[in-house]
Structures are given as structure tokens and as C-alpha cells.
Amino acid sequence: MKMTKQYDDSFIRELKNAILQSRYQAARLVNKKLIVLYFDIGKKISSNIKKMAWGSKVIDQISFELQKELPGLKGFSSGNIKKMRVFSEFWLNHLSIGSTVSNQLINPDEAINLTLPNLLQKEGQQLISENFANVFFSVSFSNHYLIASKTNSLYEAWFYLCKTASEFWSYRHLEQQLKTGLYSQQGKLPNNFKSALSPTNNEKALKSFKDEYLLDFINIENPDEEDERLIENEIVRNIKKFILTIGNDFAFMGNQYRLIVEEQEYFIDLLFFNRKIQCLVAFELKTGKFKPEYLGKMNFYLSALDDTIRQPHENPSIGIILCKEKNNKIVEYSFRDFSKAMGVATYRTSSEIPEQFKDALPNAESLKNLLK
């Protein structure tokens, strides 16, 4: 016998949303209590190490004793306890925390007394919101530790905390953005966005592109044989890693993307769609130094994309020249009189040796002679 529905689909959606919201709030509450506990443990460990001059092996012993007292206890290995200490010391060094911190930590709703008078003021703008506690407690401990161990200032830590919380960054994605220096690179890309884009999209574009990209997944045995197609093939082969590098708002549309203008074919090296800016993004790869004529070709590609590929609801396309080297003054002059939005960034690969080690290691030719 078939049951007659006495309710509509909207009622089911309402129940579903209530269940999901409840689960989300429960997960946030559990995470908040863990952050509070780990902060408190790290603070106690740090304080006693300083007061009692504990040796380097003491945390191993503490972990062992905890495991003995609470068999099956997880999350309190010596490695994790050391991470709790790093996490706690970072925030104790940067935040103004009163003597009642223990009481405040026990009640997460009162936060960690995250009152930061005049601490995060920059150019007259308050960088930290009243919502700091919500951001702080919504980030997992593993991501908290990564931020505390890899950042050098409160400004930088707050930047990555906000990004992780608002964009739901995974540990791996956060690690990649820290490695490539998103905080220091963001907003420094030489570009003409201000004159070519609306104020809203200009701001979004500045936050979406970096001045330099670390393509450490590209490993070329002989750098002298490096060319644009080889770099392109390596990027396509490692497209997931490339998207982690440029940002998770990018969707890959293809390489050697074909355009037809007046029955002639043209090919864009890499084409993406950026969901945040709602526009097509074309990347052109150059293994040498930036040349002004590159912008003319890119301007042509963007015009063709806007006329033949762009959807009516999408914003004007953006082009990025990704080259090995650039002179910012030459880039600045080259941008003048171009109406399409473009930027010029550089890239590094894993085949490059850091400057300080170049003289310490033999070159390829020397190694060949040694092998002979």
C-alpha cells in the first residue's frame, strides 16, 4: 500500500538543515574544548620547563606516564605534547592574556581573553575583528600548530587563521600556502587590475594572485633543456598540485586551449575559471625573462576569450604571464594603454639550487667528468 505524502519536500529540507547545523555546532564545540585543553596543557608544560629546568626527555616521560594512567589514551604522544607547547607559547608571546587565563580557558564561550588593545593596528585599520574567538576556535589543532610553527608575526598568523576558517582549508592546502608564502606574496603581483577591473573585482583579483609561484613538483633533470611545453606538460601532469599552489578557487578548463579567430587557430597554454572572481583566467608560460611584447599577445587572447568563450553573466577575463624573471619597472611601463586585466608573475622549480649553495655544489658538467 502506497503511503500518501502529507508534507512537502521543503519540510524534509528543513529537517535536514537542522540536523546538519546541529552536527556542525557539535563539531565546533568539540574542537573548541580540544583547543582549550591543548592550550592549557602546552602552557603548563612550558611554565614548568622554565621554572624547573626540565631536560629534553621530560616530555617523553610525561607522555609515557599519561599512557600508563589512562590506557588507550590517544593524541598525547610526546610529539603531540611538544606541538601543544609550541602552540601555547606562540599565542602566549603574542596575545595580552591576563592572570585569569585558566578560568577563561575552562569556559570557551569567554574565549582566551583575546583582548588585543592596539596590538593589531596597521595603517589606521583594525585588522582583528570582534569575531576573533570564533575564528580561533573553528580551526583544528593540526592547522593551529602549523600556523604557530611556521609564521613569524601575529599579523601573519591572523591572516592564515582567517583563510583557514573562512575557506575551509585542509592541512595540506594550508601547508602549501605557508610554503609558497601567500601572506608575503599576496597583493604584490605587478598588474593593471585597477584600471581594467571594477573596484570589487580589482580587490578580489589582488587577493587571488601572487607575485611568485613555487612549482616544486616540477623536476627537470637538465634545466638547460627547459622549455614552455615541458613546463606546461609537467603542470598538466600535476594539475592537482598546481591548483593547490595557485588557489582552490580555480577550476581547470584545459591546456593548449583552442581559439578560432577569422578561421585561424590560436592556443592558450593553460585556461582556468576562477569561481571567486567569476571569470576566465589565461596563463601563458615563458621560461625566460619577461618581454613587453608578451602583453600584446595576451591582450589578444583575452579579447578573443571575452567575445567567443565568456558567458554573459561572467566578468571580463584575466591574463597572467608566468615567466622565469621580470623587471617590475619594465612590466609597469608595458601595462600602459592596455585595457584588458593582466599580471606578470614569476615561478621557481625544484631543479633550482638556492643561491647560498650554488658555489658549494659541483655543476652538471663536473659531475659527468667525475663519473667518467
pLDDT for 136 equals 87
205: phi then psi, degrees, rounded to nearest 5 = -65, -40
Residues 252 and 305 in one domain: yes
Rounded to an integer, the average pLDDT of 352-359 is 47
Is pLDDT of 137 > 70? yes
Q: Which of 179, 196, 222 is the last residue of a domain?
A: 179
Nearest one of 270, 300, 265, 293 to 282, comparing CA atoms: 270
Residues 347 and 205 in one domain: yes
Task: Average the pLDDT over each of 196-200, 244-248, 249-253 and give the range with the smallest value.
Answer: 244-248
- Answer whether residue 89 is part of any domain: yes
Mean pLDDT of all residues belonging to the chain = 80
CB 281, CB 273: distance < 8 Å: yes
Cα–Cα distance measured from residue 117 to residue 133, given in angstroms and rounded to the nearest whole number: 15
Q: Which of 179, 206, 238 is the last residue of a domain?
A: 179
Task: Average the pLDDT over each of 20-24, 116-120, 141-145 and give the range with the smallest value.
Answer: 116-120
Cα–Cα distance measured from residue 282 to residue 175, given in angstroms and rounded to the nearest whole number: 26
Q: How confident is the model at residue 114 (pLDDT cuts 50, 70, 90)?
A: very low
Alpha-helical (H) ranges within the chain are 9-52, 58-69, 78-94, 101-106, 132-138, 141-150, 154-167, 171-179, 182-185, 193-196, 199-208, 228-237, 239-246, 293-308, 328-335, 364-371
Cα–Cα distance measured from residue 162 to residue 165, given in angstroms and rounded to the nearest whole number: 5
- Answer whether residue 238 is part of any domain: yes
pLDDT for 222 equals 61
Residues 197 and 164 in one domain: no
pLDDT digit string, tens, across residues 289-313: 999 999 999 999 999 999 999 999 9
201 or 225, which is more confident: 201
Nearest one of 340, 228, 258 to 295, comparing CA atoms: 340
Nearest one of 257, 245, 272 to 347, comparing CA atoms: 245
Residues 58 and 148 in one domain: yes
215 or 15, which is more confident: 215
Residues 251 and 115 in one domain: no
- Answer whether residue 221 is part of any domain: yes
Nearest one of 354, 349, 353, 363 to 228, comparing CA atoms: 349
Rounded to an integer, the average pLDDT of 9-24 is 72
CB 90, CB 148: distance < 8 Å: yes
Domain encompassing residue 232: 185-357
- Answer whether residue 9 is part of any domain: no
- Answer whether residue 158 is part of any domain: yes
Rounded to an integer, the average pLDDT of 252-264 is 94
- Answer whether residue 13 is part of any domain: no
Please list, in sequence order, all residues whose beta carbon lies within 8 angstroms of the beta carbon of residue 351, skipping any fewer than 6 positions away: 218, 219, 220, 221, 223, 226
Residue type, 201: N
CATH code at 189?
A: 3.40.1350.10
Cα–Cα distance measured from residue 298 to residue 232, given in angstroms and rounded to the nearest whole number: 17
277 or 22, which is more confident: 277
pLDDT for 33 equals 86
Residues 114 and 99 in one domain: yes
Is pLDDT of 360 > 50? no
pLDDT for 349 equals 81
116 or 262, which is more confident: 262
pLDDT for 115 equals 44
Please list, in sequence order, all residues whose beta carbon lies within 8 angstroms of the beta carbon of residue 120, skipping any fewer than 6 positions away: 126, 127, 128, 154, 155, 158
Residues 23 and 169 in one domain: yes
pLDDT for 352 equals 52
- Answer whether residue 368 is part of any domain: no
Is pLDDT of 190 > 80? yes
Cα–Cα distance measured from residue 252 to residue 272, given in angstroms and rounded to the nearest whole number: 5
Task: Average the pLDDT over each of 2-6, 248-252, 258-262, 269-273 and give the range with the smallest value.
Answer: 2-6
Cα–Cα distance measured from residue 124 to residue 132, given in angstroms and rounded to the nearest whole number: 19
Q: What's the grid cell of residue 97?
A: 592574556
Q: What is the pTM of this model?
A: 0.68
Q: What is the largest CA-CA distance in the chain?
A: 86
Residue written as grid cell 592596455: 338
Cα–Cα distance measured from residue 128 to residue 119, given in angstroms and rounded to the nearest whole number: 9
Q: Which of 125, 160, 179 is the last residue of a domain?
A: 179
Structurally, the chain folds into a number of domains equal to 2
Q: How confident is the model at residue 366 (pLDDT cuts 50, 70, 90)?
A: low
For 119, which DSSP code?
Answer: T
Cα–Cα distance measured from residue 3 to residue 271, given in angstroms and rounded to the nearest whole number: 51
Residues 115 and 146 in one domain: yes
Q: What's the grid cell of residue 262?
A: 577569422
Residues 96 and 79 in one domain: yes
- Answer whether residue 49 is part of any domain: yes
CB 108, CB 32: distance < 8 Å: yes
Residues 216 and 291 in one domain: yes
Cα–Cα distance measured from residue 187 to residue 205, given in angstroms and rounded to the nearest whole number: 9
320 or 3, which is more confident: 320
Residues 331 and 352 in one domain: yes
Cα–Cα distance measured from residue 169 to residue 364, given in angstroms and rounded to the nearest whole number: 40
Residues 26 and 167 in one domain: yes
